[in-house]
Chain A
Amino acid sequence: MLSICETQCVTRPNASASTESVCKLLLSLVVFSGLIALAFLHVGAWMVLPFAGLELVLVVLAFVVVLRHSSDYEKITFVQDQVEIEQSVLGEIKHVRFQSYWTRITLREGENGKTSLWIGSHHQEVEFGRDTMDNAQREQVASHLKRVLLKTK
């Protein structure tokens, strides 16, 4: 999910589910599938239980993998003559600042056709939107940043 305004670009993964709603969903799945497996265990069909357990573990893992990154975000903010990049991954927030005048925006294309967007200055570079944007969005952000930087020069 990408939002762009004149002085800020924010990108984050789609995250329409709250942790609470996912917990409720998983709990209901565990109870429902668990009851079915236990009922069949009661009549001697115990082999249903390991399959049900394995499947529920997979469902929980899938949500854990997705939700771990649901609060991640990446933000570029223009503050006076500075470009500030803020990246939050798994709750850990990293800040990098560049002087606008010297900031360079580079869009590189990898072997598999996937592009990467780099923001840097004086031998320091930060990749932006690696997992949260597609090629088109990276291109869009790159041209927006170049345009804004040009104005500041």
Chain B
Amino acid sequence: MSTTTVAHHDEHHDDHPTGIMRWLTTTNHKDIGTMYLTFSLVMFLVGGSMILGIRAELFKPGLQLMNPEFFNQLIGVHALIMIFAALMPAATGFANWMLPLQIGAPDMALPRLNNWGFWILPPSAILLTLPFTLALFGVGDGALATGWTFYPPLSVQGGIGVDFAIFAVHLLGISSVLGSINIIVTIYNMRAPGMTLMKMPMFAWGWLITAFLLIATIPVLAGAVTMLLTDRHFGTHFFDAAGGGDPIMFQHLFWFFGHPEVYILLLPVWGFIPQILQTFSRKPMYGYKAQVYSLWAIGALAVVVWAHHFFTAGMPVPALLYFMYSTMAISLPLAVLFYCWIRTMWKGSMSFETPMLFTVGWIILFGIGGLTGLVLADVAADAQYHNSYFVVAHFHYTLFAGGIMGIMAGVYYWLPKMTGHMYNEKLGKTHFWLTAISFNVTFIPQFFVGLAGMPRRIPDYALQFAEFNMISTVGAFVLGLSQLLFVYIIISCVKGGKKATDKVWEGAQGLEWTLSSPPPYHSFTEQPVVK
């Protein structure tokens, strides 16, 4: 793809409101993207602090710091925050910042909707965490203690924390749907002349498929939690076996949303990872079409494999076999993606700046997440591994390594473009090594304790698991503390530093690199034409 554009970005063109009103009322895609990314970082620290509390409790067998109810509440809210308030907003932040720049659009198609989509998020985060504060004043018994899955009958019997979480999920869902609609309309209708669908950057493809998945699955989650709410307060029996309902139906509903949600978190990352690889390998992306078709295949398979999350709940054998084989089938397009990522690097003139370090680390660690997922997809093996720490380790390899470390790669890749300053490369590399090593120290032991039979979501455990849990807790604290370095790097980069060039990286390709660093408030003052 080659592009022509005329740069014309004088500072005096950047008229825009200032002060708090700029952020409250802004319809500018870059402002909204910045707000999403900031919100995500704050919630990442909030969710991370919660899990450090949990790991501190698990440092030794026995109950040291908290009662089991509070332990369960921390686990549930940690997951909801990390998924809905940290990872998803981070991907949406990148979409807001980069999609218009990458496809040559002046802004998102529906800017006001964009603003509303963001401002729904903070109230929903407050709703999620407020029950903790209310409990301190004797109101209610804390946040939801069901884990992020809301499984009945526990959730039907739970305290007000469940209601708060249901309303928070509704708001988060509305925000996601508004964002998805905006992204679909923007990608369909706002592309620059010459930017055909098959010339779009991979990030745009990743987000387009993500948006379709959200549109397809959010109503199912919304329906499920509303039915839960009516079971709790309005005398319905959707999930109450005593009233003729079916608690397993909730699991079907939840995971019909929940499994695609994994891909909703990962597809945007799979979109920009190839772009980072081609930049630092200094050669064109390998297998563009193969990657696009693989993303579509994964998106399609994502909505037909949900029941592998509850094989042990009991299902007819044909259903077990279907869900096992369909789940394993996802590994085929994923293998194509891995092949393309590695071939992009093959014989490239590679350099290892921080974004590339995170990307290469990401490929290896996410690969471990994928392979351990294959083991869990096996019905017979899953009977052993289900509800164990093996599952916890597996999904952290996919969602922390595959999601958050991918997001970190994106942050380092685009931060100079966004701020106009280079971050401190030495600190960036230190952050990578601290994160990668402490992540493995945290989660490799969890594979072992899981295989040995330690169940998840328990505050106390048998003595035989003590050493591995101790190692895991030490790793978690190093991992948590090393993220403070990440925050420091970002803040110092925003405040100043060496001036970034417009192209930032030698091998960077795409329309966003034709703009100044930072880009002007109004992105394309002259229409770029893609040849």
Contact = CB atoms under 8 A, between A and B. Distances in A.
A153 to B, nearest CB: 27
Given A44-B238, A45-B224, A47-B226, A55 B188 contact: no
A124 interface: no
A52 B253 CA distance: 14
Nearest to B228: A47
A22 B187 CA distance: 11
A150 interface: no
Interface stretch (B9-17, B59-67, B309-317): B9-17
A91 B523 CA distance: 28
A17 interface: yes
Interface string B4-28: 0000101001011100000000000
A80 interface: no
Nearest to A56: B215
A14 B191 contact: yes
B188 A25 contact: yes
Interface string B208-243: 000010011011101110110010000000100000
A66 interface: yes
Q: Which of B113, B190, B191, B218 is packed against the most chain A CB atoms within 10 Å?
A: B190
Contacts of A115: 15
A62 B525 contact: no
Nearest to B217: A36
B522 A134 contact: yes
Interface string A98-116: 0000000000010011110
B185 A63 contact: yes
Q: Which of B15, B189, B193, B246 is packed against the most chain A CB atoms within 10 Å?
A: B189
A40 B254 CA distance: 12
Contact of B215 (A21, A29, A43): A29
Nearest to A43: B249
Contacts of B238: 44-45
A25 B209 CA distance: 13
A134 B189 CA distance: 18
B177 interface: yes
A48 B188 contact: no
Interface string A107-131: 0010011110000000000000000
What range describes how many residues of B lie at the interface?
35 or more
Given A36-B220, A44-B238, A136-B10, A66 B110 contact: yes
Given A16-B191, A43-B249, A45-B249, A55 B17 contact: no
B253 A136 contact: no
Contact of A1 (B177, B230, B527): B527
Contact of A136 (B193, B195, B525): B525
Q: Which of A45, A50, A58, A139 is packed against the most chain B CB atoms within 10 Å?
A: A45
A140 B526 CA distance: 10
B182 A62 contact: yes
Nearest to A110: B15
Contacts of B182: 62
Contacts of B224: 45, 47-48
Nearest to A29: B215
Interface of B: 8, 10, 13, 15-17, 105-106, 109-110, 113, 177-178, 181-182, 184-185, 188-193, 195, 212, 215-216, 218-220, 222-224, 226-227, 230, 238, 246, 249, 252-253, 256, 303, 520, 522, 525-527
Given A36-B216, A55-B218, A70-B189, 9 more contacts: A16-B189, A17-B189, A25-B188, A48-B220, A50-B223, A51-B223, A62-B113, A135-B13, A136-B522
5 contacts: A16-B189, A40-B253, A58-B181, A137-B525, A140-B526
